[in-house]
A and B are shown apart, each in its own frame.
Chain A
Amino acid sequence: MAKNKLDWHTGEQNNGRAPLSLENVHVSYATRRGKVRAIRGVTLDLHAGESLALIGESGSGKSTLGLAIVRLLPETAETSPGVITYRRDGREVDVLRLKPNEMREFRWSECAMVFQAALNAFNPVLKVWAQALDTAKAHGWHDKDAIRRRLVELLEFVQLDPKRVIDSYPHELSGGMRQRVLLALSLLLNPQILILDEPTTALDIITQRTIIKLLRELKEEQHFTMIFISHDLAIAAELADRVATMYAGRVVELGASDDIFYRPRHPYTLGLIRAVPTVTGGFEQLFSIPGSPPDLVELPSGCKFHPRCAFATDRCKQEEPELEEVGPGHTAACWHWREVEAELQRNPLHRGALNVLDVIEIDEEVVS
């Protein structure tokens, strides 16, 4: 396979190992109503081999951030200021300065994105095999037999029958099959990073489980570096090493998955967790977050969460907090995170299993 010809630089010492770094990234959309400030200053390092989940309500900016990284935003979007740096083998590129042909290379061979609406992501008039061939050829790979072998291997990996799928049109496949074909295609040119936008949304539960298992394998056996974007906290709990909560275009909390789920320090993260039921956990009281997400054209003053926050004070209405360290490898952007900590000491978040004793007692017989 032809190795790519991006404009690499020698990496700097600091952050030398993070394959992807975002520094103060901003994105806005021009609309008739005014500027929609979808991303407002995101700074983030993605570590090699980790899976990071971006969670938050609809409109919090998750997809916009993913699209900004692979530069697939519509023309009405402006990505500035901000710097996105991509690194591999001790060298680095400035993603926002890549030329269009380099960008295409980047999207397939370095950092691939699998989209929310799996059907739109395909060319509807091309069979799966033709899509793969086109992609490979566009990247200077012409050995048809080798391409076919690689595609068959990938289709088998995503548990599809290559014979059945390879000569199908996208519309002939079910939603779950399409999502798996897309995953296979995105791996065709061996990218280092995979960004998955709502990888299981709109799929049936059993299909969701198949996709989650596949993604776990990618993560645990092939050590892919991945970003999961989902409004569904369960995807983060099932797959992520680290979780970033987004609200009104900012990362408001970032930490190891267990820290986020059991020791959140931002009131919004706490609110999301307390709003979501589990199936095998004990029965617990759920709470919703009052109000609704802010208008990104006319943002509230100070902390953007203050109109909905039970911990808010006057200071919150005036000054917007920055991320600060609240524990090892754990940051939150909240003036009053210590009060969230105190609240959790009173009412901890560990759910525990439903009828644990009962469950263990009858456990002799194993299904799989």
Chain B
Amino acid sequence: MAPILEVRNLTKQFGKGKERVTAVDSVSFAIEPGETVCLVGESGCGKSTTGRMVAGLLEATSGEVLFEGKNIKQLDSAAFRRYRQSVQIIHQDPYSSLNPTQTVRQILTAPLLRHNKVKPGATAEKRALELLEVVDLTPARDVIDKYPHQLSGGQRQRVAVARALTVDPKFIVADEAVSMVDVSIRVSILTMLARLKEEFHVTFLFITHDLALAKYFAWEGRITVMYLGRIVEDGPTQRLITDPRHPYTQALLSAVPEADPELAQHKRQIELRGAEIPSLLALPPGCTFHPRCPYFAPGLCDVAAPPLEAIPEGGRVACPVRRQERVSLLV
């Protein structure tokens, strides 16, 4: 199948002169229709910047974004508008992304009317009520006249999803979409998103720093791990979680606190050589993980950036030293 979205050598730099940093460095991946891909990594590794370039909210410094096979830079203005509608982004904090002076009705009907999304014989209000049902905000009539501050965090996030759905998106970038929602209701929002995948054939790029959540949401999909602006490993979720190959992926997975006392007891502790993440302003040469990596090979790892190479078990690993070695995360 042809990918719905592809990025090639996508790079974003911020700042000028001495302050110039490369927040996203030559990132390439392709996502097929219906596939779920999770982008994971620690704060500042470039996940959101990648997501914003994918959604056309931020221009790349170099490299390409291809949506349905077409380079978005080469689209005419009508086609670019269609692409911007097809790719929607949902942010972490629905409170700041929803206009506090508008009711849910206004939040939903405005884009429906503006983009001519009301079918003949229907009304914007009817469609708004339908969308509220889709995101499980029922009874919809009780919600439609409320303001954002009258809703709980989870309900606001559902309104944000409903608003994204007004323009019939094919692709949704969900950036930490449930990170601020209480654990007790997180799962119901994930289940609702998973249903959009099935019923509306929406493809997801799900950005999160929470690996357990990534595993759960993308169990049948793929995970991509970023470190300091680069992809260090990707692959089918079940392979990546049970058999991670890049030392950074292993360090990350072994560091995740487990909500289960037995697993917490048996987690392998991987000792890193350095604790602090380097600054983007002073990136180490070669593999940028080398100052922390327990397998650092001098003269090899600190010379050239290791290429992202495919492994037979599925996915790609940017580490020539450890690509073929398996390590257990439990002892």
Contacts and interface: CB of A to CB of B under 8 A. Distances in A.
A334 to B, nearest CB: 17
Contacts of A46: none
B257 A208 contact: yes
A1 interface: no
Contacts of B215: 277, 279, 283
Contacts of B294: 367-368
Nearest to A60: B182
Given A206-B252, A234-B259, A367 B270 contact: yes
Of the four ranges (under 10, 10 to 19, 20 to 34, 35 or more), the interface on chain B belongs to 35 or more
Contacts of B187: 275, 286-288
A73 interface: no
A206 B189 CA distance: 27
Which interface residue of B184, B187, B216 has the most chain A CB atoms within 10 A? B184
B216 A277 contact: yes
B198 interface: no
Nearest to A207: B275
Contacts of A233: 183, 259
B264 interface: yes
B271 A368 contact: yes
Interface residues of A, number: 58
A232 B269 CA distance: 20
Contacts of B184: 57, 271-272, 275, 288-289
Contacts of B254: 209
Give the most central of B188, B254, B261, B331: most A CB within 10 Å: B261
Interface string A173-207: 01010000000000000000000000010001111
A354 B242 contact: yes
Interface in A335-368: 350-351, 353-355, 358-360, 362-363, 365-368
A288 B187 CA distance: 5
Contact of A292 (B152, B260, B272, B325): B152
A278 B260 contact: yes
A12 interface: no
Contacts of A280: 241, 253, 258, 263, 267, 329-330
B276 interface: yes
B256 A279 contact: yes
B57 interface: no
B261 A237 contact: yes
B257 A212 contact: yes
A276 interface: yes
Contacts of A231: 182-183
Contact of B326 (A200, A204, A362): A362
B250 to A, nearest CB: 8
Contact of A277 (B213, B255, B262, B328): B213
B188 A288 contact: yes
A360 B256 CA distance: 20
B52 interface: no
Interface in B232-268: 241-242, 250-264, 266-268
Interface in B200-229: 209, 211-213, 215-216, 219
A67 to B, nearest CB: 21
B58 interface: no
Interface string B159-172: 00000000000000
B117 interface: no
B275 A210 contact: yes
A258 interface: yes
A52 B304 CA distance: 48
A206 B212 contact: no
Nearest to B211: A279
Contacts of A286: 187, 190, 216
A261 interface: yes
A80 interface: no
A205 B216 contact: no
Interface string A203-223: 011111110110000000000
B283 interface: no
B329 A359 contact: yes
Contacts of B186: 275, 288
B277 interface: yes
Given A292-B154, A358-B242, A279 B212 contact: yes
Contact of A205 (B42, B219, B275, B325): B42
Nearest to A353: B330
B275 A365 contact: no
A300 interface: no
A363 B255 contact: no
A307 interface: no
A176 B276 CA distance: 9
A278 to B, nearest CB: 5
Interface string A246-289: 00000000000110010000000001110111111101001111
Nearest to A286: B187
A4 interface: no
B327 interface: yes
B62 interface: no
Contacts of B188: 288, 290
B32 to A, nearest CB: 22
A235 interface: yes
5 contacts: A206-B251, A210-B275, A237-B259, A280-B241, A283-B216
Interface of B: 42-43, 152, 154-155, 182-191, 209, 211-213, 215-216, 219, 241-242, 250-264, 266-272, 275-277, 294, 325-331
Nearest first, the 3 A-B pairs at minimum CB distance are A234-B257, A209-B255, A288-B188
Interface of A: 57-58, 159, 174, 176, 200, 204-210, 212-213, 231-238, 257-258, 261, 271-273, 275-281, 283, 286-290, 292-293, 350-351, 353-355, 358-360, 362-363, 365-368
